[in-house]
Structure formats: structure tokens, C-alpha cells
Amino acid sequence: MTKKNWPWLLLLIIVFGAFGSILFSRGLFPYFATYPGFSWLNKLSTNAPIIINRTQEVQLNEGVNIIDLVKQSGNITVSLYAGNGNTIGKFLGNGIIMSSDGLIFTSKAAVNAAAGKMTVVLNDGTGLEATLGPTDPRSDLAILTIAARNLPTAQMGLARELVPAQRIIGIGPSQAESARKFLTGFVTNSMRNAHSLERVFTTHAFEETIETDAVISAEFFGGPIVNLNGKVVGMMGNTRSNILPAEDLQTALASYLANGKIIRPFIGLKYLSLSNSLAKLKGLPQAGALVTGFEDSSSAKKGGILAGDLIVAVDGEKIDDSQTFEYLFNHHAAAPIELELIRAGTAIKISVILESND
């Protein structure tokens, strides 16, 4: 064989070797490996699965330290017990410190279970006798006061700014100093998404709320719900679905500080809350509150509002997808408000005197 033939011979060896390798590894090796004692041939097969034994921890970084957030929120949370401060009885619920001199917001369910004197236990274990204050005529909110100074206070956020899939944290009871239970979950339906063609709202009670997948049990009632910035966006009421939004808490606080009790304006409407898209489905020009009926002693009915009216603004503030109808009624009772509405295609304005349901 001449030197000129060696390259061709080498090329033939490589080609036939490659085909032979494929034939044996893909065909003959797997076939013979099925016989007893020849399973080791699978190791020579190129199509055998590659198994990597490695465990890796995956963490979801939300940009916040949950441990620190729970500790911080625990400082503005109190535990309520039956008893007078010296003899503590059963656990009743939780509360939120709203002022540095001892104003506490809690759930009516907690104070109703007291049947007598109550003790507020701070996060450092200090127990102080509580005095029951007024309750909210429109929600599950109750007020307690304790003799204290320089307490940490809740920083309030806005519940209507929460969006679905946003994480929230609820703070609950503590059986030891500075160690509170907590729950966490996601917002499943926001207050901005409360619009519906079927659900009729009334103005005698707060019905628009935060919906979450968090499992809220009775031991968490009265405790705060905070966002990942540590701001209170709600309070856990007497049922899982009864979360009092921060906006309700803030208007109650303002009323209490001004009047010594919680006074809620009463307009007596039943209505559908319509977004722009839902309004179009009803053949209406824009978002608003579509009046469907009235409650007893309705100041709106007395003022000339009719069923079928679409209220589109209150005192010049338009009702749109980001502004719920309820929160435009941050007014004093016995005060006039101006409602802009559309009636049979015509825009009109009507002044209504708000009453009180305190």
C-alpha cells in the first residue's frame, strides 16, 4: 500500500467506526443488555439517561426580611385576656396600638367574649387593665384604652392599593414575650375588583374588603394585616371574609378623636358598583354607582335620588375603577354633599344631607 492510500484508509476506518459505534450503542448493546448478567452494557450506550444527583435550595427573594417584619409588626400588636391585670383569664383576641397613649383597635368578637374586665398584654409581657370604649356602628371594630405612654403605633397603608398576588402578613397572639404567631398569604381579589353586575352593596355596612387565601382562625381576630412595607392595610375581623380595610380604620380613628365616638355618615343606598367596562355592558356611559334601591330613612331618597340613577361623582371627586364608591363618603354627619349623577342620559346635580347611624 502506497503512502497516497493511507489517508483514504484512515477516512474509511473513521467512517465505518462511527457507524459501528452507533449500531452497537443504539441497537446491539440495549438488546443484549436485556439478558441476565449483561445489564452492564447499558453503561456503554450513548442514549442511556444521564442522572445528576444534586440538591439545590431555591429561595424566592421578595426583597424583605419576613422575620424582621413580623418582629416589627409584633410591637404594635397586643393580646387581650379576660381579667383585671392581676388575674388573667382566657385569651380573647388581639388588638392594634393606634396611639402612643394607649388607644387600641380590636374586634367586637374579642370584647364580646370578655363578659367583664379585660387585660391588654403588650409585646414585652406587660399587662394593663383595659377600658372598653365605643364600637363602630358599621363594622366589627371596637375600641379599648389603656393607661400607657410612649407606645409604638401602627403606620397605616391603603388597602385599595393592594393587587392580586401581592403578599400580606397577619399578626396574631403571643404566649411568650416578643414571639407572636403570624400567618401569610396572597391577595386573591382586590378592593378595586369589587365591581359586579350582580352583587348589590349597601351603605349601612362596609362590604368591600380584601380577599386572601390566608387561613384566618379565631385566634387572629383583632390583629393587624400588614404589607411588605410593614404598614397596616387591614384588621382581621370576626370571620375570615371580614377584613376591615385600613381606610375604615383611619376614618374611625379620625371620628373618635374628634367626637369621642365613631360616627358614620348614613345615606341609605343600595347600589351596583360598576367599572367602566361593566357600565358599558349595562349601556351606561361611564363608571359609577348604579342605584338599585334604598334603606329605611334614606337621606338619599329624601334628597331626590331615584332608582336607576348612576352616581358618577361625590363633591367633585369622580368615581372610577381606582376609587371605590364607599370611600368618597368621608364626611361628617348632618353635612351636605353634592352628588353628580346621570339620569336617563342627562347629567344633573343633587345636594343630599348625610345623617348619622352612630
Which range marks the domain in which residue 318 is found?
265-356
Q: Are residues 20 and 92 in the same domain?
A: no
**In this structure, are residues 25 and 45 in contact, taking their beta carbons and an 8 Å threshold?**
yes
Is the domain of 233 the same as that of 281?
no
> Both 20 and 128 in a single domain?
no
Asked whether residue 244 is domain-assigned, the answer is yes
pLDDT the model gives residue 265: 81
pLDDT of residue 67: 85
pLDDT tens profile 202-257: 877 666 788 888 888 888 999 999 999 999 999 998 765 578 899 889 989 998 99
| Same-domain pairing of 87 and 180 | yes
At 62 the pLDDT is 57
Residues 72, 10: one domain?
no
Distance of CA 215 to the CA centre of its chain: 12
Positions in the chain short of pLDDT 50: 48-61
Tell me whether residue 220 is exposed, middle or buried, using C-beta atoms within 10 angstroms of its C-beta: 0 to 12, 13 to 18, 19 or more: buried
Query: How does pLDDT run across 22-38, given as a tens digit for each residue?
Result: 555 555 555 555 556 65
Question: Do 77 and 84 contact (CB within 8 A), yes or no?
Answer: no
- CA dist 245 and 112 (Å) reads 21
| Same domain for 180 and 75 | yes
Classified as helix, coil or strand, 2 is coil
Q: Looking at the structure, tell me whether residues 75 and 170 fall in a common domain.
A: yes
| Residue 203, domain member (yes or no) | no
CATH number at residue 269: 2.30.42.10
d(CA 114, CA 129): 12
> For residue 329, which amino acid is it?
F
Pair (272, 238) in one structural domain? no
Residue 202: inside a domain: no
CATH of the domain at 243: 2.40.10.120
- The answer to whether the beta carbons of residues 91 and 238 sit under 8 Å apart is no
pTM for this predicted structure: 0.74
Based on the fold, state whether residues 78 and 20 are members of the same structural domain: no
Residues 12 and 124 in one domain: no
pLDDT at 52: 43
Considering the domain architecture, whether residues 74 and 104 belong to the same structural domain is answered as yes
> Do 27 and 69 belong to one domain?
no
Burial of 63 (0-12, 13-18, 19+ CB in 10 A): exposed
State the CB neighbour count (10 A cutoff) for residue 318.
13
**Which of these three, 245, 262, 279, is where a domain ends?**
262
How many domains, in total, are found in the chain?
A: 3
pLDDT of residue 174: 82
Amino acid in position 244? L
Residue with cell 383585671: 84
52 part of a folded domain: no
Domain membership of residue 53 (yes or no) is no
